[in-house]
Every structure is written in C-alpha cells, then in structure tokens.
Amino acid sequence: MRILVTGGTGVIGKPVIDRLIQRGHSVRLLSRNAERDAGLWPERVEPYSGSVSDAGLVRGAAEGCDAVLHIAGIVAEEPPAVTFQEVNVEGTRRLLEEAQRAGAARFVYVSSLGASHGASDYHCSKREAEELVRGFQGSWLVLRPGKVYGPGDDVISTLLAMVRTLPAIPTVGWGKQPFQPIWMDDLAQCLVAAAEAEEPAGVTLELAGSEVTTTAEVLEILGEITGRSPPRLPLPASVIGAGSSLAESLGFQPGINDDVLTMLAEENVIEGEENALVTVFNVSPTPLRDGLRRLADELPERLPSEGVGPLYRHRYWADIRGGRLDADALFTLVCDHFGELAPEPLLEVDAEGRGEVALRPGATLTLSVPLRGTIQVRVEEVRDRAATSVTLAGHPLSGMIRFLVRELTAHDGGPQPLRFEVRSYFRGSNVADRAVMATVGRPLQETTWRSLVEAVVQRSGGEAVEGVQTSHGRLSEDEAEHVERWVEGLVMRRQREEADQRA
C-alpha cells in the first residue's frame, strides 16, 4: 500500500512510519520540510512538500495513495497564522477534500481522548474536525488516544526535564488531576493496523494505556528513575497561567498556557471499560513505569539551531610532549575512560546509574552539573580521533561538544607531540539559560573542561609545557549556519543508521 502520512516526524508519526516501512508499505510524507524530513528513513518514504494550512500545497498529496493517516495537529496556538481553527479544523477539511479528490479509500484521523467533552479550545477544535471526518465518502475511522507520551512530547517530556533541572517543580494544585496516557509505540501499532484494514470503519474509538495516573504520580516515578525529587510547589492555575505568560514575554517557552491548564483540569480518561487498544487492536499496553524509563533514555537532541542568541565556540586544549601513548591510544583512553577522567564534583558521569560512562556511538550520557541538575548528551559519532556529542532536550544549552586528539609536528627532532582538545559550540536554550551561561555558566564550564584536559595530560604520562590553553569566541552568522547544518546532518545520519538496523 501507499499511505499518505501527515505529522510524520512528531512523537506519534515517527514510530508509525517506522512500522509502515517494516511492514513493506510505501509512505508519502506531507510536511513543510519534506525533503529534509524524509531523510530520517533510508528508503520507501516519498517527500511531498506542503502544509495542511494551505489548500494549494495540499493538492496532489494523496494522488495514488490507498489510505491517509492524518496525525498532524497543534496543541498550542501561535496567532495569527497558527491557530486551532486554521490547522486542526480547516487543515483537516483541506486534507479530506484532497483524499476525496484523489480517490483514497481510507481516511484515519487521530483526535484526542478529551474531544467528546473537553472545554479547552484544543479539544473543541478536535471535536469539530471529527465531524468533518464523519462526512468522508470513503471508509473513515476516528481514533481518540489518551495523552500520547514519548521522546519530545509536550507534557511528560517537559515534566522529566523539570525533574532533572529545576530546584522546585510548580504544579496545578497538588497535581491530582487524572489522565490516562498511552506510550507512542502502542498507538503506532494501532494506527498501522487501522491503515491496513478495511475494518473497523465509520466509528469513533477511544484508546489509552491501562493505567489512570496523575501528574503527582508521574513526578514520583520520574523521581525514582532519575534519582532526583525536587520539592513540588502547588499553585493555583491562575498563578501558573500568569507566570507562564510572563515567562513567554521574556522569551521562555514553558509549554503551559491557559488552554493547557484547562486541559489539565479535565479528566482525560476513558469512560467505561471499552479500551480499543486492547479490545479492537489487541495491543498489550506498555506499563507506565516502563514507558517512563524508556522516555528517560530516549529524549531527542536539542540542536544548536534551536537555541537563543549567538552561537559561541569555546576551546580548551593542551599540547602533550613525552607521553607514553600514541594518538590512537590516547583517543581510546579518552573514549573508554571518560567517566573516570571527568572531574567530580564538577561533572558526574552516569548520574542516574544507567551504566553509560564511555564515549560510544549512540550512547546517552547522563551528567550531573552543579547548579544545573542532571543533563544529557548523546554521542552521535566517534571517528577520525574525534568524538562528537549533542545536547538533548531539557538541557539548559543547545549545542555540541567534541573531544579530539591529533598529531603535531615535532620541530626539535624529539618525540611527536599530541594535542588533546575539548571544543564546544553552544547557545542558551532560552533567554534565562543564556543569561546564566553568560554569568555563572561560563566560569563553571571553563573549570570543568580545563580539569578534564589536565586529567588527560596526567594519564598520558607526558607533560603540557604550555599548560591548558583556551580560546573563546562568537561565531559569525555564516560560521554558525555551517555548524548548524553539520550537526543536523550528523544527527540525521545516526538516526538513518538506527532505522536501517530496525528494518
């Protein structure tokens, strides 16, 4: 089958496309940056550049497709262009018209569990879109999942970042509002099955995980997983809403607004015992604790291009003479013993006890940093005596760190000297983190990486006559753009290699 997918790079869409490919289907991916987005998969994903917000850019997207999986939607508005009415409602109308024109036999729409009764603008827009889907002249199916969580989701991933980095966590009241989340892969199984089969059709199905939980319980489990349990600060919704508005005016993206607060107050659970996840699609729900543990290990990268302000480059290096190791052996030492070389208490590697302490391709290192809590980096590449890691979501900075070893020319006829260097490229993730980095953060970072360089020199058996040298600078716009493209390509290449392995 050829299946048109919208929202294919989001929390729901990516595992859906992974499974469609594994099952031998061809996917047409509709997105604004389709050429780039389709690069996440090695084959059988055809890019179609467009947007559900523009009828002209939708036309032709469903040509030759057997089914449409409409996942794309927004949970927060950015007026005037990005609104619930324009994207969730009118975007669905445009896609339905295109599917009808192209003769697609099946239309599957991803709504929300709260759409039947929710009072938030978001749920109202999903409810209106559902009515449009019910007018489709072919086979249609509306699925209402509970809160979908997975790497990069807008609620539970945010809670995880708060647990790892904040000294105290604000909650709406005591965080007792019930909801019934569903792990992204469980929903992906259902969506693939829904696209493949002719039945069920003409119905609206609710599906969620097996456990009804609360924000307070999720925070408790995340605390156990991360080893950090910041105190909770129960506040009225009005106070959080006002604080969020102030934060947004200062350049933050807290992910909480009046509409989100309304959704949190609604009981987003399945009413009755009919959970289509189990009864219709025969999927065994992932236990909440297992899903949260996976989430803690699989957060997406926070790229340099996603930060705020100029991009800075910091270098820390030493030229080592008289050491007992050649360049390859020194680089192996750095990669294999990174956890030992890191200077405690400035940088504690494997702060959550997951066993990742070495620089290995694909490894996710969890680091404890004074004043900033627990942060994570993912090792994207280890080659040519260079190990490159990129910060993950929830980090106060957006950027990458490189550890390099190279040979220098011996001018005095003596043993060949080696250079070990730590090179970092960073922006603040938001205005506040940018300010912290410019004051407290930079001296702390410099002390940390200087100490690491000194430890490598000591372990090499040589000496750095000139000591640890440093260089700090702000990149030009062209230089910053070059670094951003290079990092994005690096991350995409690793993701493609993982997709190859899954296939």
What is the per-residue pLDDT for 252? 45
Residues β-bridged to residue 407 = 418
What is the per-residue pLDDT for 267? 63
What is the per-residue pLDDT for 250? 40
What is the per-residue pLDDT for 441? 62
What is the per-residue pLDDT for 243? 47
Q: What angle do CA 412, 418, 422 make, to 5 degrees?
A: 140
Fold type of domain 304-502: Alpha-D-Glucose-1,6-Bisphosphate; Chain A, domain 4 (3.30.530)
What is the per-residue pLDDT for 429? 75
Residue in 359, 443, 347 with CA at minimum distance from that of residue 404: 359
What is the per-residue pLDDT for 258? 52
Fold type of domain 2-297: Rossmann fold (3.40.50)
Tell me: cis bond preceding 200? Omega within 30 of 0 counts. Answer: yes
Contact 287, 211 (CB under 8 A): yes
What is the per-residue pLDDT for 177? 86
Terminal Cα-to-Cα distance of the chain (whole angstroms)? 17
Task: Determine whether 405 is exposed, middle or buried from the number of CB atoms within 10 Å of its CB (0-12, 13-18, 19+).
Answer: buried
Please tell me the distance from the alpha carbon of residue 84 to that of residue 72, in angstroms, as a whole number: 12
What is the per-residue pLDDT for 80? 86
Please tell me the distance from the alpha carbon of residue 28 to that of residue 47, in angstroms, as a whole number: 6
Query: Which token pair is 314?
Result: 């910091």
- Backbone phi, then psi, for 55, in 5-degree steps? -60, -40
Which helix (H) or strand (E) segment is 47 a member of?
strand 45-49
Strand order in the sheet with 139-145: 45-49, 26-31, 2-6, 67-70, 106-110, 139-145, 203-207
Write out the DSSP string of 448-497.
HHHHHHHHHHHHHT-B-TT--EEEEEEPPHHHHHHHHHHHHHHHHHHHHH
In this structure, what DSSP letter does residue 116 have?
G
State the number of CA atoms in the 13 A half-sphere of 326 facing the CB: 1
What is the per-residue pLDDT for 369? 84
Residue in 346, 316, 318 with CA at minimum distance from that of residue 472: 316
Contact 188, 222 (CB under 8 A): no
The answer to pTM > 0.95 is no
**Structural domain boundaries of the chain?**
2-297, 304-502
Question: In a structure prediction context, what are the per-residue pLDDT tens digits for the chain, which is 503 residues long?
Answer: 999 999 999 999 999 999 999 999 999 999 999 999 998 898 899 999 999 999 999 999 999 999 999 999 998 888 888 999 999 999 999 999 999 999 999 999 999 998 988 888 999 999 999 999 999 999 999 999 999 999 989 889 988 988 998 888 888 777 888 999 999 999 999 999 999 999 999 999 999 999 999 999 999 999 999 999 899 888 776 555 544 544 444 444 444 555 555 555 566 899 878 999 999 999 999 999 999 999 999 999 999 998 888 999 999 999 999 999 999 999 999 999 999 999 988 899 999 998 999 999 999 999 998 877 888 999 999 999 999 999 998 877 789 999 999 999 887 667 789 999 999 999 877 666 655 555 556 788 899 999 999 999 999 999 999 999 999 999 999 999 999 999 999 999 998 888 777 66
What is the per-residue pLDDT for 249? 44
CA 298 to chain centre: 8
What b/e string do you get for 87-126 counting C-beta neighbours within 10 Å, with b at 16 or more? bbbbbbbbbbbbbeebebebbbbbbbbbbeebebbbbbbb
Contact 101, 81 (CB under 8 A): no
What is the per-residue pLDDT for 185? 97
Write out the DSSP string of 260-314.
HHHHHHS-BS-SSS--HHHHTT-PPPPPHHHHHHHHHH-PPB--GGGSEEEEEEE
